Amino acid sequence: MDEPLNVVIVVGSRSVPEQLFRSALGEASPHSALSRASGRDVRVSLLSLLPASGGPEISAAHAVSPSRTPLLDRVLAALPLTRIEAVLSKSPLGRLLLSLGPTDPSRVFWRAVQADPAAMAILASADVLLAADLPAVRTAWQTLRAGKVAEAYFGLQAAEKVFAARFRHTQPAA
């Protein structure tokens, strides 16, 4: 029997993970949706900013601790940048500039994950990373780029389709 596929779902925003799962997968849990799509056992872990209830089908859940947030992010959070960000976010060029700066949510989350050894260990244990939201994409991409994980995908609905096409085990003909 094959070992279970170790999937780590990364939620980089302050969204409640269970709400993201429900909006993407309906009433199915990530474990049941991905197991059904791939036709094999899947072990699901969760890495997020907010603590999650996890449930019986999440094998490990880790919330990136705000106390481990790097100094740069704490300093930036204390500065009155909200007015500047509000003005810049109203134009395409401004949004591009914000995405390149240090206050971009995906950069903030990636720095917080890098500062948390338990979070890095969860990422390194994955066979597949699933970025559930946009702030998680940089973390998945950087982990994939560093060669610590074999595959990474964006979006839970897309992951269902990928799992059905790529990981499905066919039964050998008797």
Q: What is the CATH number of the domain that holds 22?
A: 3.40.50
Domain assignment of residue 81, yes or no: no
Q: How far apart are CA 18 and CA 38, in angstroms?
A: 21
Residue pLDDT, tens place only, 148-170: 999 999 988 888 888 888 877 55
Q: In angstroms, what CA-CA distances link 148 with 102, 116, 120, 141?
A: 24, 16, 10, 10
Question: Is 63 domain-assigned?
Answer: yes
Q: How many domains does the chain have?
A: 1
Token readout for 129 is: 């990373």
CB 105 within 8 A of CB 69: no
- Say how far apart CA 165 and CA 167 lie, in whole Å: 6
Give domain status of residue 153, yes or no: yes
| pTM attached to this predicted model | 0.81
Task: Determine, yes or no, domain membership for 90.
Answer: no
pLDDT of the residue at 173: 46
Q: Does residue 88 belong to any structural domain of this protein?
A: no
Q: What is the mean pLDDT of each run of 10 residues along the chain (174 residues)?
A: 85 86 84 87 90 76 74 72 75 77 82 90 94 93 94 89 77 47
Structural domain span for residue 46: 5-68+103-167
Inside any domain, residue 73: no
Is position 82 within any domain? Answer: no
Where does the chain have alpha helices with state H?
17-25, 30-38, 71-78, 82-88, 92-100, 105-114, 117-124, 134-145, 156-162
Q: Is 31 inside a domain boundary?
A: yes
